[in-house]
Amino acid sequence: MEQIIRLQPTFSHTIWGGTRLREDYGYKEPGDDIGECWGISAHPSGDDTVVGGAYDGCKLSALWAEHRELFGNVSGDRFPLLVKIIDAKADLSIQVHPDDAYAGVHENGSLGKTECWYVLDAPEGGTLVVGHNAQTKEELESMIRGGRWNDFIREIPVKKGDFIQIDPGTVHAIKGGVMVLETQQSSDITYRVYDYDRLQNGKPRQLHIEQSLDVIRVPAESPEKSVLHAAGGTAGTVTELIKCPFYTVLKAIVDGPLTIPGDPHFLNMSVYEGEGTVLGTPVKKGDHLILTAAAEEITFDGHFEAILSHI
């Protein structure tokens, strides 16, 4: 049974995207508006293709459906996670995601969207929107319907190496100049609260005010509860960044030989710096792969950093 599933990402072109995914990571994707690399995804909006090995050319969704033994025969009607690299040349919209219960009723059975960000790069003075300043539901509605965005939006400073958990109901936005690796539930449901009155093809992008008012949590959690400063770290370690009901996310710093136990189901892996080997297979910055249930022990070597995730 295959131990490594290497994936060819899919890409999303956006009004806020840029060129760094091609320039910094070597992806051969044309255009100057590349917003997202869906590095590990079986979602219908971006279903990645297996590269090499026994399943070369197979879509990840088909692999999940037809070869569940690769994933430890875990239950579920869809591959549960989605891993992206997001390049925000300009600010993303102020947005919020629903949880499973709300999405299941209002979005045709979709999963909700719990997500987290590992900050790959940020300019000096860089910020993210995490949370808001309304203290009651009444104040929330007044701020949003009245367009009191300066009062409503809460920005927090971030730097390279920070890690942020974004639970459903959390108002959030990636700001221009910030690049993140996002691990999330396999969902593409986003409710836009505000989009800076931007036009796309001459028209404002759709907002989702009523849905947003339904799902935004009030009051917002303090930013200190959301941000983990995970920059640096000890060479030759794998460190847990978050464990929640939907995923566990880890940071690996490989500096020479390193061995860890495999996962009984599967382990996602995205290399964001350096190069080396995994189970003797060469990997480099920008590679995305799944270490299957057959990999009972995982050996790393070389000099690289990666974000790992599993259910």
Within 41-166, strands assigned E span 42-43, 46-47, 49-50, 81-87, 94-96, 115-121, 127-132, 153-157, 162-166
- CA-CA distance, 208 to 212, in Å (whole number)? 6
In the chain the first and final C-alpha atoms are separated, in Å, by 21
The burial class, CB within 10 Å (0-12 / 13-18 / 19+), for 70 is: buried
Q: Which residue has the tokens 């400063």?
A: 229
Characterize the bridge pairing of strands 115-121 and 203-204.
unpaired
Percentage helix, strand, coil, to 5, in the chain? 15, 45, 40
Token duo for residue 90 = 């300009």
Catalytic residue, chosen from 20, 148, 192, 198, is: 192
The answer to whether residues 57 and 50 touch, using CB atoms and an 8 Å cutoff, is yes
- CA-CA distance, 6 to 165, in Å (whole number)? 27
Q: Which residues contact 2 (CB under 8 A, 6 or more apart)?
A: 53, 54, 55, 70, 292, 294
The answer to whether residues 172 and 96 touch, using CB atoms and an 8 Å cutoff, is yes
192 is catalytic: yes
The residues that are catalytic are: 192
